[in-house]
Amino acid sequence: MIFIAGPCVIESADCLDEVARELVCIQEKLGVEIIFKSSFDKANRTSISSFRGPGIERGLAMLADVKSKHGLRILTDIHEAWQAAPAAEVADVLQIPAFLCRQTDLLIAAAKTGRIVNIKKAQFLSGADMQYPVQKVQEASTNTTETWLTERGNSFGYNNLVVDFRNIPDMLKIVPTVIMDCTHSVQRPGAAGGKTGGNREFVPAMALAAKAFGANGFFFEVHPDPEKALSDGPNMLYLKELEKVIKSLI
Protein backbone atom coordinates (compact mmCIF):
# COMPACT_ATOMS: atom_id res chain seq x y z
CA MET A 1 0.00 0.00 0.00
CA ILE A 2 1.01 3.58 -0.71
CA PHE A 3 0.77 6.11 2.11
CA ILE A 4 0.92 9.88 1.58
CA ALA A 5 0.88 12.32 4.50
CA GLY A 6 1.83 15.83 5.47
CA PRO A 7 0.45 19.29 6.23
CA CYS A 8 -1.91 20.84 3.69
CA VAL A 9 0.30 23.85 3.01
CA ILE A 10 3.87 24.75 3.96
CA GLU A 11 3.54 26.92 7.05
CA SER A 12 7.06 26.87 8.48
CA ALA A 13 10.27 24.85 8.44
CA ASP A 14 9.62 23.80 12.04
CA CYS A 15 6.19 22.38 11.18
CA LEU A 16 7.59 20.45 8.20
CA ASP A 17 10.40 19.08 10.33
CA GLU A 18 8.09 17.96 13.15
CA VAL A 19 5.78 16.13 10.74
CA ALA A 20 8.67 14.57 8.81
CA ARG A 21 10.27 13.22 11.99
CA GLU A 22 7.02 11.54 12.99
CA LEU A 23 6.54 10.03 9.52
CA VAL A 24 10.04 8.54 9.65
CA CYS A 25 9.27 7.10 13.08
CA ILE A 26 6.04 5.50 11.81
CA GLN A 27 7.85 4.10 8.78
CA GLU A 28 10.45 2.41 10.94
CA LYS A 29 7.93 1.11 13.45
CA LEU A 30 5.40 -0.28 10.95
CA GLY A 31 7.65 -1.17 8.02
CA VAL A 32 5.84 1.03 5.49
CA GLU A 33 6.87 3.92 3.25
CA ILE A 34 5.17 7.28 3.64
CA ILE A 35 5.50 9.92 0.92
CA PHE A 36 5.70 13.45 2.35
CA LYS A 37 3.09 15.88 1.01
CA SER A 38 2.79 19.63 1.35
CA SER A 39 1.89 22.49 -0.99
CA PHE A 40 4.10 25.46 -1.80
CA ASP A 41 1.03 27.40 -2.98
CA LYS A 42 -2.69 26.85 -2.47
CA ALA A 43 -4.03 28.67 -5.50
CA ASN A 44 -7.63 27.55 -4.99
CA ARG A 45 -8.43 28.90 -1.50
CA THR A 46 -11.97 30.06 -0.76
CA SER A 47 -11.08 33.66 0.13
CA ILE A 48 -8.49 36.06 -1.26
CA SER A 49 -7.38 36.68 2.33
CA SER A 50 -6.64 32.97 2.94
CA PHE A 51 -3.04 31.88 3.52
CA ARG A 52 -1.55 30.42 0.33
CA GLY A 53 1.97 29.35 1.30
CA PRO A 54 5.52 30.57 0.73
CA GLY A 55 5.45 30.35 -3.07
CA ILE A 56 7.28 28.06 -5.47
CA GLU A 57 10.91 29.12 -5.02
CA ARG A 58 11.03 29.14 -1.21
CA GLY A 59 8.53 26.29 -0.91
CA LEU A 60 10.49 23.91 -3.12
CA ALA A 61 13.69 24.74 -1.23
CA MET A 62 11.93 23.80 2.03
CA LEU A 63 10.64 20.53 0.54
CA ALA A 64 14.13 19.74 -0.78
CA ASP A 65 15.43 20.22 2.75
CA VAL A 66 12.86 17.71 4.09
CA LYS A 67 13.92 15.25 1.40
CA SER A 68 17.64 15.52 2.10
CA LYS A 69 17.33 15.60 5.90
CA HIS A 70 14.76 12.83 6.38
CA GLY A 71 15.08 10.71 3.23
CA LEU A 72 11.38 10.94 2.40
CA ARG A 73 9.99 10.97 -1.12
CA ILE A 74 8.07 14.17 -1.88
CA LEU A 75 4.64 14.86 -3.40
CA THR A 76 3.45 18.38 -4.15
CA ASP A 77 0.73 19.83 -6.33
CA ILE A 78 1.04 22.17 -9.28
CA HIS A 79 -1.56 24.58 -10.62
CA GLU A 80 0.03 25.91 -13.81
CA ALA A 81 1.95 24.20 -16.59
CA TRP A 82 5.14 26.26 -16.04
CA GLN A 83 5.39 24.94 -12.46
CA ALA A 84 5.85 21.31 -13.57
CA ALA A 85 9.54 21.43 -14.51
CA PRO A 86 10.86 23.23 -11.39
CA ALA A 87 8.61 21.17 -9.09
CA ALA A 88 9.89 17.96 -10.69
CA GLU A 89 13.44 18.87 -9.68
CA VAL A 90 12.39 18.23 -6.06
CA ALA A 91 9.17 16.20 -6.08
CA ASP A 92 8.97 12.51 -6.90
CA VAL A 93 5.22 12.79 -7.49
CA LEU A 94 3.44 15.73 -9.13
CA GLN A 95 -0.18 16.06 -8.08
CA ILE A 96 -2.90 17.57 -10.26
CA PRO A 97 -5.59 19.24 -8.13
CA ALA A 98 -9.14 17.96 -8.55
CA PHE A 99 -10.57 21.16 -10.05
CA LEU A 100 -7.76 21.15 -12.66
CA CYS A 101 -7.79 17.49 -13.68
CA ARG A 102 -9.05 18.28 -17.19
CA GLN A 103 -6.51 21.04 -17.87
CA THR A 104 -4.72 19.60 -20.89
CA ASP A 105 -1.61 21.79 -20.82
CA LEU A 106 -1.11 21.11 -17.10
CA LEU A 107 -1.38 17.34 -17.58
CA ILE A 108 0.97 17.36 -20.57
CA ALA A 109 3.58 19.44 -18.73
CA ALA A 110 3.46 17.07 -15.74
CA ALA A 111 3.77 14.03 -18.01
CA LYS A 112 6.82 15.40 -19.79
CA THR A 113 8.81 15.62 -16.53
CA GLY A 114 8.87 11.82 -16.23
CA ARG A 115 7.75 12.00 -12.61
CA ILE A 116 4.82 10.02 -11.25
CA VAL A 117 1.62 11.98 -11.92
CA ASN A 118 -1.18 11.73 -9.35
CA ILE A 119 -4.46 13.06 -10.75
CA LYS A 120 -7.18 13.84 -8.25
CA LYS A 121 -10.69 13.10 -9.52
CA ALA A 122 -12.77 16.22 -9.88
CA GLN A 123 -15.75 16.69 -7.60
CA PHE A 124 -17.94 16.84 -10.73
CA LEU A 125 -16.67 13.68 -12.49
CA SER A 126 -17.28 9.96 -12.18
CA GLY A 127 -14.51 7.43 -11.75
CA ALA A 128 -14.99 6.21 -15.31
CA ASP A 129 -14.52 9.79 -16.63
CA MET A 130 -10.93 9.73 -15.40
CA GLN A 131 -9.84 7.65 -18.38
CA TYR A 132 -9.54 10.88 -20.36
CA PRO A 133 -7.08 12.76 -18.11
CA VAL A 134 -5.03 9.55 -17.89
CA GLN A 135 -5.04 9.27 -21.67
CA LYS A 136 -3.67 12.82 -21.95
CA VAL A 137 -0.80 11.99 -19.60
CA GLN A 138 0.05 8.72 -21.27
CA GLU A 139 -0.03 10.13 -24.79
CA ALA A 140 2.14 13.10 -23.78
CA SER A 141 4.70 10.94 -22.00
CA THR A 142 7.84 9.78 -23.75
CA ASN A 143 8.41 6.92 -21.30
CA THR A 144 4.90 5.89 -20.18
CA THR A 145 4.76 8.00 -17.05
CA GLU A 146 3.36 6.17 -14.04
CA THR A 147 -0.09 7.58 -13.35
CA TRP A 148 -2.15 7.38 -10.16
CA LEU A 149 -5.75 8.41 -9.61
CA THR A 150 -7.16 9.78 -6.36
CA GLU A 151 -10.76 9.68 -5.11
CA ARG A 152 -11.79 12.72 -3.04
CA GLY A 153 -15.59 12.76 -3.13
CA ASN A 154 -18.21 14.43 -5.29
CA SER A 155 -20.14 17.64 -4.77
CA PHE A 156 -23.41 16.97 -2.97
CA GLY A 157 -25.55 20.07 -3.12
CA TYR A 158 -23.93 23.09 -1.52
CA ASN A 159 -21.02 22.99 0.98
CA ASN A 160 -20.87 19.21 1.14
CA LEU A 161 -19.21 16.19 -0.42
CA VAL A 162 -20.22 12.55 -0.62
CA VAL A 163 -18.00 9.60 -1.57
CA ASP A 164 -19.33 7.06 -4.05
CA PHE A 165 -16.92 4.22 -3.31
CA ARG A 166 -17.83 2.53 -6.61
CA ASN A 167 -15.49 5.08 -8.19
CA ILE A 168 -12.53 3.17 -6.76
CA PRO A 169 -13.03 -0.11 -8.68
CA ASP A 170 -14.03 1.95 -11.73
CA MET A 171 -10.69 3.78 -11.62
CA LEU A 172 -8.78 0.55 -10.97
CA LYS A 173 -9.90 -0.47 -14.46
CA ILE A 174 -7.96 2.54 -15.78
CA VAL A 175 -4.78 2.50 -13.67
CA PRO A 176 -3.33 -0.01 -11.18
CA THR A 177 -2.93 2.56 -8.38
CA VAL A 178 -5.95 4.30 -6.85
CA ILE A 179 -5.47 6.52 -3.81
CA MET A 180 -8.19 7.43 -1.31
CA ASP A 181 -7.89 11.01 -0.12
CA CYS A 182 -9.23 10.33 3.34
CA THR A 183 -9.09 13.92 4.58
CA HIS A 184 -10.27 16.06 1.64
CA SER A 185 -13.23 13.69 1.26
CA VAL A 186 -14.60 14.87 4.63
CA GLN A 187 -14.38 18.56 3.70
CA ARG A 188 -17.31 20.96 3.85
CA PRO A 189 -16.24 23.30 1.02
CA GLY A 190 -16.73 26.97 1.83
CA ALA A 191 -18.92 26.06 4.81
CA ALA A 192 -16.98 27.88 7.52
CA GLY A 193 -17.53 31.53 6.75
CA GLY A 194 -15.15 32.15 3.86
CA LYS A 195 -13.09 29.03 4.42
CA THR A 196 -13.51 25.27 4.22
CA GLY A 197 -14.95 23.27 7.07
CA GLY A 198 -14.78 19.52 7.63
CA ASN A 199 -15.44 16.49 9.82
CA ARG A 200 -12.13 14.80 10.68
CA GLU A 201 -13.85 12.23 12.92
CA PHE A 202 -14.87 10.32 9.78
CA VAL A 203 -11.33 10.00 8.39
CA PRO A 204 -10.50 6.52 9.85
CA ALA A 205 -13.77 5.05 8.56
CA MET A 206 -13.24 6.62 5.12
CA ALA A 207 -9.88 4.86 4.92
CA LEU A 208 -11.25 1.45 5.89
CA ALA A 209 -14.23 1.73 3.53
CA ALA A 210 -11.92 2.66 0.67
CA LYS A 211 -9.72 -0.35 1.40
CA ALA A 212 -12.80 -2.59 1.26
CA PHE A 213 -13.49 -1.24 -2.24
CA GLY A 214 -9.93 -1.95 -3.39
CA ALA A 215 -8.00 1.28 -2.82
CA ASN A 216 -4.27 0.56 -2.60
CA GLY A 217 -3.12 4.00 -1.53
CA PHE A 218 -4.17 6.36 1.25
CA PHE A 219 -3.68 10.11 1.50
CA PHE A 220 -3.86 11.91 4.86
CA GLU A 221 -3.27 15.58 5.49
CA VAL A 222 -1.88 15.76 9.03
CA HIS A 223 -0.83 18.55 11.36
CA PRO A 224 0.55 18.73 14.92
CA ASP A 225 -2.33 21.06 15.86
CA PRO A 226 -5.05 21.20 13.16
CA GLU A 227 -7.06 23.74 15.15
CA LYS A 228 -4.27 26.25 14.47
CA ALA A 229 -3.49 25.15 10.91
CA LEU A 230 -3.49 27.84 8.23
CA SER A 231 -5.35 25.69 5.67
CA ASP A 232 -7.85 22.81 5.87
CA GLY A 233 -7.61 22.49 9.65
CA PRO A 234 -11.12 21.05 10.23
CA ASN A 235 -10.54 18.04 7.99
CA MET A 236 -6.85 17.40 8.78
CA LEU A 237 -5.94 14.50 11.04
CA TYR A 238 -3.98 15.10 14.23
CA LEU A 239 -0.40 13.97 13.58
CA LYS A 240 -0.45 11.86 16.76
CA GLU A 241 -3.39 9.82 15.37
CA LEU A 242 -1.77 8.84 12.06
CA GLU A 243 0.06 5.76 13.32
CA LYS A 244 -3.15 4.22 14.68
CA VAL A 245 -5.00 4.80 11.39
CA ILE A 246 -2.19 3.29 9.30
CA LYS A 247 -2.07 0.29 11.66
CA SER A 248 -5.77 -0.30 11.04
CA LEU A 249 -5.09 -0.47 7.30
CA ILE A 250 -2.15 -2.89 7.41
Q: What is the pLDDT of residues 74-96, one digit of tens each?
A: 999 999 999 999 999 999 999 99
CATH code assigned at 161: 3.20.20.70
The tens digit of pLDDT for each residue in 106-153 reads: 999 999 999 999 999 999 999 999 999 999 999 998 776 799 999 999
Q: What is the CA radius of gyration of the chain?
A: 16
Q: What is the pTM of this model?
A: 0.92
The tens digit of pLDDT for each residue in 27-57 reads: 999 999 999 999 999 887 677 777 788 899 9
Q: Which domain holds residue 77?
A: 2-249
> Do β-strands 187-188 and 197-198 pair in parallel, antiparallel, or remain unpaired?
antiparallel
DSSP state string for 156-209: -SSS-EE--TTHHHHHHTT-S-EEEETTGGGEETTTTTSS-EE-GGGHHHHHHH
- What is the number of other CB atoms lying within 10 angstroms of the CB of residue 124? 12
